[in-house]
A and B are shown apart, each in its own frame.
Chain A
Amino acid sequence: MILSIAWKNIWRNKIRSLILIGTIAFALAGAIFILGIMEGWMKERNIKIIETELTHIQIHNPDFVNNFNIKDTITNGSQILSQIKKLDFIVATEGRLKAMGMVASSYSSQGAIVVGIDPARDAEATKVYKYLADSNSKWLDQVKRQNVVIIGLKMAKDLQMVNYIITETTLLKLRNLRLPKSLITKLDTLKGKKFHTTTKFYNALEQVLTEKEFDQYADLIANSCHSYKLGRKIIIRMQDINGNVVEEAFRIIGVYDTDNDMFDGMYLFVKKSYLEKLLDVPPGTVNEIAIITDNQKEIEHYKAILKQKYPDLLIESIFDMDPTMRVMTSLIWIYYAIFEAFILFALSFGIVNTMLMAVMERTKELGMLMAIGMNRRRIFSMIMNESILLTLTGGIIGIIIGYFLVLYTGHTGINLSKYAQQGMEALGYSAIIYPQTSPMLIFETTILVIITGMLAAIYPALKALKLKPAQALRTDV
């Protein structure tokens, strides 16, 4: 009955309550949406990092990590690999042969990490094949040739292997991204011209655009009109196990793009058997074992099991290799809580104010309730309930709106490439965000809303408790 009275009391001043409910709903919908963007952003980045580079757990010869020397392989690597495959928590594992090298095209050269992997896609830990940039790109298992390579789009650009040509389709694409009309007109002057290198294209852009336009849009324009030709060759130069420099031409059969410039500009993938021959190492040599487990939350536990089994090897979890992952996966809820707490703290002033008004204008009624025998505990609980119900109503509406906003934009994606493609991809984030939300976030928000409602009610409730029935009854409000 107290709960029902509390609920009815909320609606005594409909406009006041609706304004507060609306404010809470609006603020929380915004919070859920913003956190949804963050969550989507991070999860996507995490998945990419796991799938393309770090996996869940990696095993190395401890010396390899320090100096990246091809000699520091994992002793009995293939044996260990087959033992690990039998463990029940392993979903996928693969032995990699990694070497530092130089890669050169006809125009440019740079350092690179050459990763030799078993080309078969099934049950392998590396899933870079999921990020092939175009439908003509092939994965290593689709060609019989041995000297083939998959490179990142960023590397292709850096090696000046990407052509740029502004076509009508490019302009249309840019128009759809709502780029300024004046900019499109300027680009129109470049229409049809083919630029064979990134440098040349950027130079041409610099000529027609203002400095500000160039800084803001050059990367976006470049990404909308680039093309590359598969089948071209690059030269990879490495040191073999004997310290001799070896050099080999590889044909590019695929280009991948994970939106992470650091990765895409550095890693190239070749067939492991061919790399073994080149580096003059025995077949089956591995210097990195990459593991995907069945449960990301148990990684540390699985790592401990492996550590016990192979005490001489360096066994690292993804959290050791990329400490930001630990922050993002296990501590992120603290960040969410702090973010929401700030919003709710700001809202609590409004709630305190509303509840205080509700108490003050009901002084006489509260006096009457005390007079007829409603004790202080019940009065306190009635005001507390009112505040919680009021806050929760706004909170639930906000959570629902925020949730559907996340659901909708999670489906359509939010394209930020117009504003910050380069900056975000340089940090390893995609410029198109697909917001996500988690039950944890919803649960956390609901709990925080209830706590806010309770805390905001304390002052008005205490104020009510201080009333003396005889005096309160005499009040004329």
Chain B
Amino acid sequence: MAVIEVKNLHKIYCAGEVEVHAIRGIDLKIEQGEFTAIVGPSGSGKTTLLNLIGGLDEPTEGIIIIDGTDITKLKDNQLIDFRLWNIGFVFQAYNLIPVLTAKENIEFIMHLQGKSKEERNRRAMELLKEVGLADRANSRPSQLSGGQQQRVAVARALASKPKFVLADEPTANLDSVATKNLLDLMEKLNHEENMTFIFSTHDSRVIEKAHRIVRIEDGRIVKDEKVK
């Protein structure tokens, strides 16, 4: 069964008086354990598609079924809750909570889920170890490099035990070493834990690692191929 199933998806923005048809009828299925890159030039609709799949934005038309639930039918608060329990996010600009330490940032999402202190502590340390930052548990984001922050962001995304992780241009702000480390980490998690990753990118280094590449242009899928 597909984790994500998107049918006839449309998104029209109103930019002033001009209507922008950002997504024009996309159908897409993503299976458990996929390592998918959504690629395309700037303005092609990658981020919009990711936002729609992640329930951060409402489609103008079409349905998005995640693990059997049509999220377009969910009310605002239900959607927030749905995201909390089902979707992990990694953003381009890391977006950690600056006043919390690396460990607290990871714990925070579990706090929202109402997990016990012991569980939060145990899992946060586990994840930090997994992303290779156990020794930086008590560092604030400002004390970490961009690559390290993004690894904490990946750990945070996994902390809630989501069905899949959406990463919007996760390497856009990283140098090549940090990019390689991050990709290795995501690939490892995909491989070892069968975690589904979907990332938007136009970074060739990321595209090379992807197992499936969905190419979008002008809001339409122009190519969808499994490469590994």
| B-contacting residues, A340-396, CB 8 Å | 364-365, 368-376, 378
Q: Are A468 and B100 within 8 A (Cβ)?
A: no
From A1, A376, A470, give the contact of B108 (CB < 8 A).
Answer: A1
Q: Are B80 and A1 within 8 A (Cβ)?
A: no
Contacts A8-B99, A9-B99, A365-B97 known; A370 to B111 CB distance under 8 Å? no
From B85, B95, B100, give the contact of A5 (CB < 8 A).
Answer: B100
A369 CB, min distance to chain B CBs, angstroms: 8
Tell me, in angstroms, the Cα distance from A11 to B89 when the chains sit together.
27
Does A428 reach chain B (CB closer than 8 Å)? no
Q: Are A468 and B57 within 8 A (Cβ)?
A: yes
Q: Are A473 and B99 within 8 A (Cβ)?
A: no
Does B112 reach chain A (CB closer than 8 Å)? yes
Q: Are A376 and B77 within 8 A (Cβ)?
A: yes
Q: Are B51 and A470 within 8 A (Cβ)?
A: yes
Contacts A470-B56, A470-B57 known; A374 to B112 CB distance under 8 Å? yes
| A-contacting residues, B126-169, CB 8 Å | 156, 160
B95-107 vs A, Cβ < 8 Å mask (1 yes, 0 no): 1011110001001
For chain A, what secondary structure do more than half of its interface residues adopt (helix, strand, loop), or is it mixed?
helix
Q: Are A373 and B95 within 8 A (Cβ)?
A: no
In the complex, which residues of chain A have a beta carbon less than 8 angstroms from the beta carbon of B160? 372-373
Does A469 reach chain B (CB closer than 8 Å)? yes
Tell me, in angstroms, the Cα distance from A371 to B91 when the chains sit together.
10
Q: Are B99 and A373 within 8 A (Cβ)?
A: no
Interface size on A, residues (CB 8 A): 22
Does B220 reach chain A (CB closer than 8 Å)? no
Nearest residue (CB) in A for B78 is A375
Nearest residue (CB) in A for B159 is A372
Does A178 reach chain B (CB closer than 8 Å)? no
B40 CB, min distance to chain A CBs, angstroms: 18
Contacts A376-B77, A473-B91 known; A8 to B100 CB distance under 8 Å? yes
Tell me, in angstroms, the Cα distance from A470 to B76 when the chains sit together.
13
B63-95 vs A, Cβ < 8 Å mask (1 yes, 0 no): 000000000000011001101110001010101
Does A12 reach chain B (CB closer than 8 Å)? yes
Q: Are A378 and B112 within 8 A (Cβ)?
A: yes
Tell me, in angstroms, the Cα distance from A374 to B57 when the chains sit together.
16
Interface size on B, residues (CB 8 A): 28
Nearest residue (CB) in B for A473 is B91
Tell me, in angstroms, the Cα distance from A12 to B99 when the chains sit together.
8
B105 CB, min distance to chain A CBs, angstroms: 10
Q: Are A5 and B99 within 8 A (Cβ)?
A: yes
Q: Are A473 and B56 within 8 A (Cβ)?
A: yes
| B-contacting residues, A32-56, CB 8 Å | none
| B-contacting residues, A1-45, CB 8 Å | 1, 5, 8-9, 11-12
In the complex, which residues of chain B have a beta carbon less than 8 angstroms from the beta carbon of A468? 56-57
Q: Are A373 and B97 within 8 A (Cβ)?
A: no
Q: Are A373 and B112 within 8 A (Cβ)?
A: yes
A418 CB, min distance to chain B CBs, angstroms: 53
A374 CB, min distance to chain B CBs, angstroms: 6
B88 CB, min distance to chain A CBs, angstroms: 8
Q: Are A469 and B112 within 8 A (Cβ)?
A: no
In the complex, which residues of chain B have a beta carbon less than 8 angstroms from the beta carbon of A469? 56-57
From B51, B76, B85, B93, give the contact of A373 (CB < 8 A).
Answer: B85
In the complex, which residues of chain B have a beta carbon less than 8 angstroms from the beta carbon of A376? 76-77, 80
B119 CB, min distance to chain A CBs, angstroms: 14
In the complex, which residues of chain A have a beta carbon less than 8 angstroms from the beta carbon of B156? 372
Q: Are B80 and A374 within 8 A (Cβ)?
A: yes
Q: Are A375 and B81 within 8 A (Cβ)?
A: yes
B95 CB, min distance to chain A CBs, angstroms: 4
| B-contacting residues, A425-477, CB 8 Å | 468-470, 473
Q: Are A372 and B83 within 8 A (Cβ)?
A: yes
In the complex, which residues of chain A have a beta carbon less than 8 angstroms from the beta carbon of B112? 372-375, 378
Nearest residue (CB) in B for A6 is B99
Q: Are A373 and B84 within 8 A (Cβ)?
A: yes
B84 CB, min distance to chain A CBs, angstroms: 3
B20-63 vs A, Cβ < 8 Å mask (1 yes, 0 no): 00000000000000000000000000000001001011000000
Tell me, in angstroms, the Cα distance from A369 to B89 when the chains sit together.
11
In the complex, which residues of chain B have a beta carbon less than 8 angstroms from the beta carbon of A12? 98-99
Nearest residue (CB) in A for B99 is A8
B90 CB, min distance to chain A CBs, angstroms: 10
In the complex, which residues of chain B have a beta carbon less than 8 angstroms from the beta carbon of A9? 99
Q: Are B57 and A372 within 8 A (Cβ)?
A: no
Does B109 reach chain A (CB closer than 8 Å)? yes
| A-contacting residues, B149-199, CB 8 Å | 156, 160
Q: Are B97 and A5 within 8 A (Cβ)?
A: yes
| A binding-site residues for B, Cβ under 8 Å | 1, 5, 8-9, 11-12, 364-365, 368-376, 378, 468-470, 473
4 shortest interchain CB distances as A-B pairs: A373-B84, A8-B99, A470-B57, A368-B95
Q: Identify 22 residue pairs between A and B in the complex whose beta-carbon atoms are under 8 Å apart, listed by A's number.
A: A5-B99, A8-B99, A365-B97, A365-B98, A370-B80, A371-B56, A371-B89, A372-B84, A372-B89, A372-B112, A372-B156, A373-B83, A373-B112, A373-B113, A374-B80, A375-B81, A375-B112, A468-B56, A468-B57, A470-B51, A473-B91, A473-B95
